[in-house]
């Protein structure tokens, strides 16, 4: 089963948005509920990590982003559900018009947690 969760945050200059995706591949042995919970937990941690470095409020360096990605990846590796074959975590900047709806959805997501 292939499963993808994508998220986006506005940046301080609003000329770009910061987005990340968690792509997981699991065998038939992995519980779909466990994979979904894991992805949501990784998404929450990633949103927190990127907000903690100030992605929305200040100019951040590539080094800041790499450190935040390392935190997310380390936790994801430690908590990966049994039976999940692999996962990929990608983060990058994109034009905000491509992800505006996603930015709005993530505001709602953040309010819930």
* Average pLDDT over all residues of the chain: 89
Q: How confident is the model at residue 113 (pLDDT cuts 50, 70, 90)?
A: low
Stated pTM of the model: 0.86
CB 4 within 8 A of CB 43: no
Name the one residue in this structure whose structure tokens are 């990605």: 69
Using alpha carbons only, what angle is made at residue 71 by residues 30 and 32, rounded to the nearest 5 degrees?
Answer: 15
Smallest CA-to-CA distance from 29 within 72, 73, 70, 84 is with 84
Q: How confident is the model at residue 12 (pLDDT cuts 50, 70, 90)?
A: confident
Question: Does the pLDDT at position 40 exceed 70?
Answer: yes
Half-sphere exposure of 103 (CA within 13 A, CB side): 17
Q: What is the pLDDT of residues 73-84, one digit of tens each?
A: 999 999 999 888
Full DSSP string of 51-102: HHTTTTTS---HHHHHHHHHHHHHHHHHHPPTTEEEEEEEEEEE-HHHHHHH
Q: How confident is the model at residue 13 (pLDDT cuts 50, 70, 90)?
A: confident
Here the tokens at position 31 are 């519980």
Q: What is the pLDDT of residues 57-72, one digit of tens each?
A: 988 999 999 999 999 9
Question: Does the pLDDT at position 107 exceed 90?
Answer: no
The predicted pLDDT at position 109 comes to: 73
């Amino acid at each position: 089963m292939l499963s993808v969760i994508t998220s986006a945050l506005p940046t301080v200059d609003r000329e770009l948005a910061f987005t990340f995706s968690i792509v997981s591949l699991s065998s038939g042995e992995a519980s779909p509920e466990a994979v979904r919970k894991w992805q949501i937990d990784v998404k929450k941690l990633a949103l927190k990590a990127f907000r903690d470095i100030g992605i929305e409020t200040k100019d951040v360096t590539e080094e800041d982003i790499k450190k935040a990605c390392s935190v997310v990846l380390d936790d994801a590796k430690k908590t990966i559900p049994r039976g999940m074959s692999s996962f990929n975590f990608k983060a990058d900047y994109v034009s905000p018009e491509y992800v505006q709806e996603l930015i709005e959805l993530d505001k709602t997501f953040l309010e819930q947690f």
